[in-house]
Amino acid sequence: MAVRTRDDIARVLAPKMGMTHQDSERYLKELIAYMTKALKLGDEIVFRGFGRFTPKKIESRTAYDPRTREQIQVKSKIVVKFKPYGELVDLPGGESGCHKPASGVSELTTAFKEEED
């Protein structure tokens, strides 16, 4: 399984959006910064047909150190949950548990391969 970076995505999006690689990279950075700020404020982010990002607060709790069995206090924190929608549900690990690739995945893989050549 390949790992796709922000730079990989920017490289593929640039010609499709009529932008330079640097502009698409800047756009992605701004999008991620906006999403991060919204999630920190407690807002949900929904991309129809893709999925929902939801911040969830995990309350502080008492836990045990497995080596010493000593009690430790774990601070509260906010985690981001992602719920896939649409075609992503059919991917491995999606809600349906189906292990077949979603339609459109081969086109994305082909686009990345074309950019590498």
Q: What SS3 state is found at 21?
A: helix
Domains in the chain, ordered, with CATH? 1-41 (no CATH), 44-117 (4.10.520)
Average pLDDT (81-96) is 76
Average pLDDT (46-66) is 93
The answer to whether 58 and 76 have CB atoms below 8 angstroms apart is: yes
Q: What are phi and psi of 93, to 5 degrees?
A: 90, -5
Q: What is the pTM of this model?
A: 0.65
Average pLDDT (48-57) is 93
Query: What mean pLDDT is reported for the chain?
Result: 82
What totals of helices (H) and strands (E) does the chain contain, helices first? 3, 5
Give burial (CB, 10 Å; 0-12/13-18/19+) of 84.
middle
Residue listed under structure tokens 């939801």 = 54
Q: Compute the chain's Rg from CA coordinates.
A: 19
Q: Which two tokens stand for residue 57?
A: 């607060």
